[in-house]
Structure 1
Amino acid sequence: MISDSTTKKVLARALRSGGDFAEIYVEDRSSNSLRLEDSKIERASSGREVGAGIRLRVEERTFYAYTNDLTEKGLLTTADTLRAVLDSSSLTKILNLKAREARSCRGQDTIMPQEVPQEDKVALLKKTDQAARQVSHEVIQVIAWYSDEIQKVLIANSRGLLVEDERIRTRFIIYVIARRKEIIQTGYKPLAYLQGYEALDQHPPQEAAITAARAAVTMLDAIAAPSGRMPVVIAKGSGGTIFHEACGHGLEADHIYKNASVYAGKRGQRVASEIVTAMDDSTLKNSWGSFGFDDEGNPAQSTLLIEQGILRNYLYDDYWAERMGERATGNGRRQSYQHLPIPRMTNTYICNGQIEPADIIKATEKGFYAHTLSGGQVDPATGDFVFGVSEGYLIERGEISTPVRGATLIGNGPRILFEIDMIGNDLEISPGTCGKEGQGIPDGSGCPTLRVRELTVGGTQGGI
């Protein structure tokens, strides 16, 4: 991407007028996407984005500039724009750069997406469309997206760090609409992996399309959702969204430092039921939120957040770790070279319990089963949330029964962690895109099937 000698020159130039720390982040990203709608390709796009961001820290101040000119002259000019804002005789010595360490998710069986003919990708989209429509004549629309991305990054800093990471991501999203007279329902299924095209051989989109179509058709028979406080069983994967949004962001170090989180000052204290253990783990093989190095060059790692209900750790990038006297946890992430790294989750989840999922349902005489969540709102300071349920069912006499529509889950994330009284052994991590401070990044969030002892369900009917 750029030579070691150029890297060292740029770091030295950035620090010529003073500063405590300098870093360069170089990115080369190639992407391709296809969208199918009405059984035909509606959109196709591809592109390449190349650039570098240079960060300069002076005590607690941070300066940042970026460019898409990767020539040595272009990079030095960008470094000069940072140097110009300082007037200091305090110089920081550049340590000798270490031997370049490179990682990649590429393996012997990796099928590089750019090597797959475009017509094969189009054919897969059409097969997926057919699979969904064959579920029922009530399926009236199928929208499917395919995308792939190869991101190569180089990160170096004035402390001698020099690493490279190659990230290959493949994604396939299916959205199905079913209609019966005036009733319209939807089904949705995302597939996304830190893998090449072989991911779609291992996880066929046609199967995901059938799942989404069956959900949409099933919900055509749904009755109005009940309302009130009741036991709620949340399906594997789905509850991870609540944990991510209502709890996970509150564990990011910038929120902790600013006292903008209910978890500030609670390390070592009980914050959940004793059966709850939670992790953030960027080392999970093939998982959407994984990588080799974070966007500050720290190796991917696994961080224990909650252990049997006790808060053990927060999520740190380099900047906040230094300010708070802690060790970075490999959670410095950024959307692109145009952005500063900030503390972000990777793959965040509630760990497996010991109970079979079916036994959780059997143990629930009456309640609500949230199979799939849709959009929602969260107050990051308090953890208060409202999440829609796109696929939900009543639980009656220990069995999943009637589908219901129009349900919402209303509660407080930190509080419901204390209300979890059963956890299954079927952990599933779902892919998503996490937004924070205008940056979107790939992430995973998950949980096994679990039961919340009592949670408010919003609906239009009375209690069950």
Structure 2
Amino acid sequence: MSETHSQVKELLKEKAGYILSYLMSSGGEYGEVFYERSRMCRVHLESNKVEKVQWGVDEGVGIRLIKDGKTYYGYTTEINLENLIEIAKALSKSLSGCGSVAIGKRYIKGATDVQIDIDAKDVAYRTEFLKRANDRARSYGDKIKQVLAVISDKTRGILVINNLGEISEDEQKRVVFFVDVVASDGQTLQRGYESVGGMRGFELLEEKPPELIADIAARRALLMLSAKPAPAGSFTVVMSSQAGGTMIHEAVGHGLEADLVQKGLSIYRGKIGQKVASELITVIDDASLEGYNGSFTVDDEGVPAQKKVLIDRGYLAGYMYDRLTAMKDGVSSTGNGRRQSYAHVPMVRMTNTFIAPGKDSTEDIIRDTKKGILVVKMGGGEVNTVTGDFVFEIMEGYLIENGEMTYPIRSAVLIGNGPKALQDVDAVGSDLGWSIGTCGKDGQGVPVTDAQPTIRIKSLILGGCETC
């Protein structure tokens, strides 16, 4: 790479119209030049020592043409004008550069406001957080057999210039920290996990120190050693706000992404305006929230971050769109066009997705539950977006008897149907708990955040293991 970061951006701003004129020379509905430069660092501490350090810079340009509803895409890490023009020519299948391109219609520039800049700290600074977490987790005694602590941070700068005359820039800085603990009593192994992250600087780990994350993970692993095998059957389920939004993301959110809807792969297809959940349920996707893992100023198509109400008091209000799916439905993009990198085509993805808080107190919800299961932490799971059927692991859960938590349970999974579960919600708490993740779809991963208040679902199937 002969050009510096700033020189590349200036080159693209100056010559993008020229490149786009070649791209649009044979017609098309939309064309764009997408530039990205990212710097990442990831450090693993395991077995009381730093096992892995990953650090790198990646930079490239992707060029996209949407024509007759189809996408044509090319990308390169060799960023020079001649190379970019050749890609544009290849995509358009034309040698002339006379397509219609607008200029100067809109300019947006965003950046992450941080207090402790992740680009100003070395590996030793990051490693100290990991050591603190490791020491705290292992302080819980000999039953702690394994501790994995990981810190990951990334600075990602993007520039999007399209044929509509729109130019968008954004610089996103994110930090993710997690601790994974394995405990054993000599007979069984149990795992405890906790994470924190967001579009923040390292001040995030000053506010939520590594010792706090390690405490939660270690206590969870040890607690599950004393847990009883989960009973099997149909139960009322209280999902704590601490459980995060795994269910709303997996069992509901993906089904509200317009590409799956248009392909007939969503149970929510054709149901706008219909009642799809309890009147207590409102589902929102909002990339404009400050500091969250799925937040940004503009999406990866240059569309401003937006708040979208997807389900409004039980009624389906709309879907999430990127530019391509919006064109197909004759609507505007909702700012949900996201891509893993310049080497990937953008697609519809969630950002910060959550169930809006209600009015009930968590204590009253539990007290009013005669027999049920309290889910404090969800694990992994699977969902069928066509039917809405799901299976989720319970990482930390308790039996509720006569309105009180009695004992922890282990080896439990929740089995149900997302839309049916939302219809069966009869209580929604006033709290709201967030969890971070990397959402995988079609081989791409993007950072997201999910959340829910404490909710009660009338009935779900609990897959237990009486003989475990």
TM-score normalised by structure 1 residue count? 0.96
What is the match of residue 33 of structure 1?
42
Q: How far off its partner does 1:75 sit?
A: 1.7
Amino acid in structure 2 at the alignment position of 1:186:
R
Match 2:69 to one of 44, 49, 60: 60
What is the match of residue 243 of structure 1?
248
Match 1:147 to one of 152, 159, 174: 152
What is the match of residue 232 of structure 1?
237
Q: Structure 2: which 5+ runs fail to align?
A: 1-7
Q: Structure 1: which 5+ runs fail to align?
A: none
Match 1:333 to one of 324, 338, 346: 338
CA contact (8 A) 1:20 1:92 kept: no
Report matched runs for 1:24-173 at 5 Å. 24-84=33-93, 92-98=99-105, 100-107=107-114, 110-173=115-178
What is the match of residue 2 of structure 1?
9
Q: How far off its partner does 1:207 sit?
A: 0.2
What is the match of residue 367 of structure 1?
372
Structure 2 CA distance, aligned partners of 1:255 and 1:90? 35
Q: How far off its partner does 1:325 sit?
A: 1.2
Would you say 1:193 and 2:198 are equivalent positions?
yes
Match of 1:340, SS state, is coil
CA contact (8 A) 2:105 2:164 kept: no
Structure 1 CA distance, aligned partners of 2:28 and 2:289? 36
Change (3 A) 1:239 1:100: closer
CA contact (8 A) 2:18 2:97 kept: no
Greater alpha carbon shift after TM alignment, 89-98 vs 253-262: 89-98
Amino acid in structure 2 at the alignment position of 1:57:
I
Match 1:294 to one of 276, 296, 299: 299
Would you say 1:423 and 2:428 are equivalent positions?
yes
Q: How far off its partner does 1:92 sit?
A: 3.5
Deviations 1:407-456 (A, max 9, x none): 01000001100111111111112110111111111011110111111111
Structure 1 CA distance, aligned partners of 2:251 and 2:296? 24
Structure 1 CA distance, aligned partners of 2:319 and 2:372? 34
Q: How far off its partner does 1:9 sit?
A: 1.6
Match of 1:96, SS state, is strand
Amino acid in structure 1 at the alignment position of 2:157:
K
Number of corresponding residues = 458
Structure 1 CA distance, aligned partners of 2:118 and 2:162? 32
Structure 2 CA distance, aligned partners of 1:151 and 1:165? 8
Percent of aligned pairs with the same amino acid: 40
Greater alpha carbon shift after TM alignment, 34-43 vs 97-106: 97-106
CA contact (8 A) 1:136 1:217 kept: no
Q: How far off its partner does 1:460 sit?
A: 2.2
What is the match of residue 445 of structure 2?
440
Q: How far off its partner does 1:377 sit?
A: 1.4
CA contact (8 A) 2:23 2:97 kept: no
What is the match of residue 21 of structure 1?
30
RMSD: 1.6
What is the match of residue 311 of structure 2?
306
Structure 1 runs of 4+ off > 4 angstroms? none
Structure 2 CA distance, aligned partners of 1:38 and 1:90? 59
Structure 2 CA distance, aligned partners of 1:119 and 1:39? 15
Structure 2 CA distance, aligned partners of 1:91 and 1:225? 68
Deviations 1:344-374 (A, max 9, x none): 1101111101111111111111111111111
Match of 1:209, SS state, is helix
Q: How far off its partner does 1:16 sit?
A: 2.7
Deviations 1:251-306 (A, max 9, x none): 11112222221111111110000111110000111100110101111110100011
CA contact (8 A) 1:176 1:186 kept: yes
What is the match of residue 4 of structure 2?
none
Match of 1:319, SS state, is helix
Report matched runs for 1:322-361 at 5 Å. 322-361=327-366
CA contact (8 A) 2:22 2:99 kept: no
Structure 2 CA distance, aligned partners of 1:145 and 1:440? 18
Structure 2 CA distance, aligned partners of 1:231 and 1:449? 13
CA contact (8 A) 1:316 1:330 kept: yes
Q: How far off its partner does 1:98 sit?
A: 4.0
Deviations 1:49-85 (A, max 9, x none): 000110012221221000011222222222222133x
